[in-house]
Amino acid sequence: MRILGPMLLAASPALAEPPALGLPIDCTLGETCFIQNYVDADPGPEGADFTCGPLTYDGHKGTDFALPSFAAMEAGVTVLGAAPGMVVAIRDGMPDTGRDGTPPDVLAGKDCGNGVVVDHGDGWQTQYCHMKQGSIAVARGDRVEAGTPLGEVGYSGNTQFPHVHLSLRQDDRVVDPFNTDGAVTCGVDDGPQDDLWSTPIGYVSAGLIAVGMDSGVPAYDAIKAGDAAHGTLPADIPALVGWAYAFGGQAGDIVDIALTDPSGALFYRHEAALDKGQAQFFRAAGKRTPPGGWADGDWIVDARILRGGAVLDAMRATVRIGG
């Protein structure tokens, strides 16, 4: 096992400019993955992303591309090389048990978990962390291109959710690929002119990860695992509950959950404001069996997140009840 860390190859070809970065993960942003955290842009003890927003934490040194569930991780999502270069370090063999499930002596000094470091020349490197045990598909000395499979997204190292952490450095200095000039405009993304993404990636301050329906309020662990969404439910369920799983919540955000019956009529609606900011959270609302029982057919849950009256994100799911 090779320890990940700052390494340079003297033979690496020099680049006059920083590398243009592709997505380090084989997914569709906003659909099958999302960005949970950005580089910490606050030099003090507090954390703030490059828009002064809360999608980071103190000392965070990369961009976290997250999956919607552990089920997605288990199915397999490929980590991709973000730019051409040479593999200079790898680590494999750490369990996919995250921060809370990994013994402290195993985790000590290995926050990145399983991962890969790629050198791009001229002092530029990318590091890919929290990869799945046994999935590393490259070896030290391999040449890779943008899009080369490096392994799979996992849950190894110091993490609380399945994701790949991409860190970009030049001469061991952390560089935010969303904000290379270091200028911060609070409340907005100042545009792609100082980004390093080959295809621009817009800043998303909050969003829905998944929505679904169950016969009661599901356990949060079931939602995170990907086990709380159902395509069908029996006609004798005691209640119908819609739930919404989201990220980037801020105090005052409204979570709106609406249930619609098979005729298209609104069955139930619930709005609630968040009392504090939360990196990830879920809310649920529903009703018990109506007089006469549940109508057979497709029931719909619509969930929205609103901030200052504006809709940040919306998502819909359908469940069939009865025949």
Single out the residue of 97, 117, 121, 99 nearest to residue 108, CA to CA.
99
Please give the tally of structural domains in the chain.
2
The whole model's pTM is what?
Answer: 0.92
pLDDT for 10 equals 33
pLDDT for 317 equals 98
| Domain annotation covers residue 6 | no
Query: Tokens 């549940």 — which residue?
Result: 294
Q: Which residue has the higher pLDDT, 8 or 322?
A: 322
For residue 204, CA distances in Å to 136, 189, 244, 247, 258 come to: 30, 9, 18, 10, 24
Together in a domain, 243 and 316? yes
| Domain annotation covers residue 146 | yes
pLDDT tens digits for range 169-225: 999 999 999 999 888 889 888 888 999 999 999 999 999 999 999 999 999 999 999
d(CA 227, CA 245): 12
53-62, 189-198, 273-282: segment of lowest average pLDDT: 189-198
Residue that is last in its domain, among 168, 194, 220: 194
pLDDT for 191 equals 85
pLDDT for 94 equals 98
Together in a domain, 139 and 283? no
pLDDT for 188 equals 87
Q: Mean of the per-residue pLDDT values for the chain? A: 93
Q: What is the CATH number of the domain that holds 72?
A: 2.70.70.10
Together in a domain, 163 and 213? no
pLDDT band at residue 9, thresholds of 50, 70 and 90?
Answer: very low
User: Looking at the predicted structure, is the pLDDT value of residue 13 above 70?
Assistant: no
Domain that holds residue 214: 207-321
pLDDT tens digits for range 291-318: 999 999 999 999 999 999 999 999 999 9
Q: What is the CATH number of the domain that holds 298?
A: 2.60.40.2550
CA dihedral 173, 176, 181, 187 (to 10 degrees): -140
User: Looking at the predicted structure, is the pLDDT value of residue 16 above 70?
Assistant: no
First vs last Cα of the chain: how many Å apart? Answer: 55
Residue that is last in its domain, among 133, 161, 194: 194
